[in-house]
Structure 1
Amino acid sequence: MKCDMCDKPAVVHEVTIVHGVKREVHLCVDHANEAGIAMPGIASTNKLLSKFSAGNKPTVMAPRCSECGTSFAQIRQHSLIGCPSCYDSFVEPLGRLIERAQGGATHHVGRGTNADRPSDRMQRERRLMDALASALSNEQYERAAEIRDQISQLSDDSTDESLESEAQ
């Protein structure tokens, strides 16, 4: 490599990435000394950057989680939250990210489960009644009691749902 300022061999090589822009600086011994780098290979980053990045503002540190130190950029890059405190630390950007990922939906928008259909409930009740009759005929009274409880629960659920639909 040659020095960016002259054609002498470069002994200092600095690569920085600021806001996604990669910048490479190559300096010979003379220009490295002018930039305030006393020894080749040991770069004073602040002096070097201030010398060659005229007009650039200093880089602001991105906020980090107070518990685990994870930055929001790391969360986006790895799609993993660092710890439970990250939710509090990044409440605004995480909210926007989740909203965008879910297409803005805040409630369930798909079809209901098949178990909610009355025909399925009736078929299940018929199967349970057949199983109850079979258990009683085979004198499996404990099993019959379990099946009876399942039938009772199924009937209670359907009664509750019909009361809710009438109230609406």
Structure 2
Amino acid sequence: MAIPCQACEKNSACVHLTDIRPSGEAVERHLCESCAMKEGVAVKPHTMSATVLEEFIKQGLGLKSLAERVCPQCGASFKDFHEQGLLGCPYDYTAFADLLKPIIEKAQEGAARHTGKTPGPSDENARRQATLSRLQRSLKQAVEAEQYETAARLRDEIRTLEER
């Protein structure tokens, strides 16, 4: 069963983010492609081939052998994975390793291991905005506490950051 997008609640989530709050708490968010793009998350287009079974048939694997292949831990078949796009458990990676490797390499542009995503320009902008907000709060507190030297230093830091 697909996870619904937490933003629009209409589409299935295909982007899964883990946000780290200032307290260090990790919060997972699940978004559809369009909501992720609205939040500035670059979504690289990649789709699992609809003809995965055909590719395996060309390699000499028949439909019957794929349908019969079952994970000994959870009982999920490779056919289940193909229909749902989800594996049943972590052991499926081992049970279907030879079948999954070409799919993973295709999705990872030739790499057999997931290397993750690098932060995009929007992430840098978000960090800058968070730093500005923190400095502005500190400036306000310094002025209220009549710590004018600290306030002047914070004011200068804010100006420098805003000029970038």
TM-score (norm 2): 0.36
Greater RCO structure (CA 8 Å; 6+ sep): 2
TM-score (norm 1): 0.36
